[in-house]
Amino acid sequence: MLARAPRALPLAALLVAGRGLAAQAVRASEYDVKAVFLFNFAQFVEWPAEAFPEADTPLVIGVLGDDPFGRVLDQTVGDERLGGRRFQIRRYHSVDEIKTCHILFVSRPEGDRPQSVLAGLKNRPILTVSDADGFAERGGMIRFVTDRSRIRLQLNLAATEAAHLTISSKLLRVAEIITRPGP
């Protein structure tokens, strides 16, 4: 069952909430915009302390499978920091390679069959994101939905809670919350 959040804010509102990255969204490709979203998610998610085993552990944004971003994701995070932590981009070919990761973009075709990917990440504090059809309904945390040249978000709150991630109300307001029907 889908619970609709109050009228979703335009993409620019979420980007402005970030570090002045709205200018990057002007005339940007779909994956340029999605890269900015991935970067901005870090500002709207709180991870449990064990997600950062060392004081200097970077905030890792990973891409599982084929990388649709090219160099734009690396350029988006550049030398940025969040709370003194630097950002790091990592690319993975399989779930088994993932050791430290905080935000994971699951590309197609992995996102089209999320059960095996998500089972390998079960209860780990990793924000899972994809643009694959039905990703949030099937246990992923955030799905990018492209609708009339705009990117909307679907958010599976039960999945984020199971991973002990706290989502800011600012992000919740711009997302369509996915809820599972009761037993």
- Residue 111 pLDDT: 64
- Residue 108 pLDDT: 83
Residue 3 has pLDDT above 80, yes or no: no
In the structure encoding, which two tokens stand for residue 88, read together?
Answer: 């790091």
Q: Average pLDDT, stretch 117-140? A: 93
Residue 65 has pLDDT above 90, yes or no: yes
Structure pTM?
A: 0.83
- Residue 180 pLDDT: 63
- Residue 141 pLDDT: 96
Q: Average pLDDT, stretch 124-128? A: 97
Q: Average pLDDT, stretch 123-148? A: 94
Q: Report the relative pairing of strands 127-130 and 103-106 from DSSP bridges.
A: parallel
**Domain segments of the chain as ranges:** 2-47+57-178
The region, left, alpha or beta by phi > 0 then psi within -120 to 50, assigned to residue 44 is: alpha
Backbone φ and ψ for 130, nearest 5 degrees, come out as -155, 165
Cβ atoms of 153 and 131 closer than 8 Å:
no
SS (HEC) of 21-83: CHHHHCCCCHHHHHHHHHHHHHHHEECCHHHCCCCCCCEEEEEECCCCCCCHHHHHHCCCEEC
Domain 2-47+57-178 fold is: Rossmann fold (3.40.50)
* Confidence category of residue 147, pLDDT binned at 50, 70, 90: confident
What is the distance between the alpha carbons of residues 53 and 107, in angstroms, rounded to a whole number? Answer: 27
Cβ atoms of 110 and 64 closer than 8 Å:
yes
Q: Average pLDDT, stretch 59-63? A: 97
What is the distance between the alpha carbons of residues 19 and 43, in angstroms, rounded to a whole number? Answer: 10
* Confidence category of residue 148, pLDDT binned at 50, 70, 90: confident
What percent of the chain has pLDDT above 90? 68
Per residue in 8-41, pLDDT tens? Answer: 334 434 444 443 344 344 456 899 999 999 999 9
Per residue in 72-121, pLDDT tens? Answer: 999 999 999 998 899 999 999 999 999 999 999 999 877 667 888 999 99
Q: Which residue has the higher pLDDT, 26 or 66?
A: 66
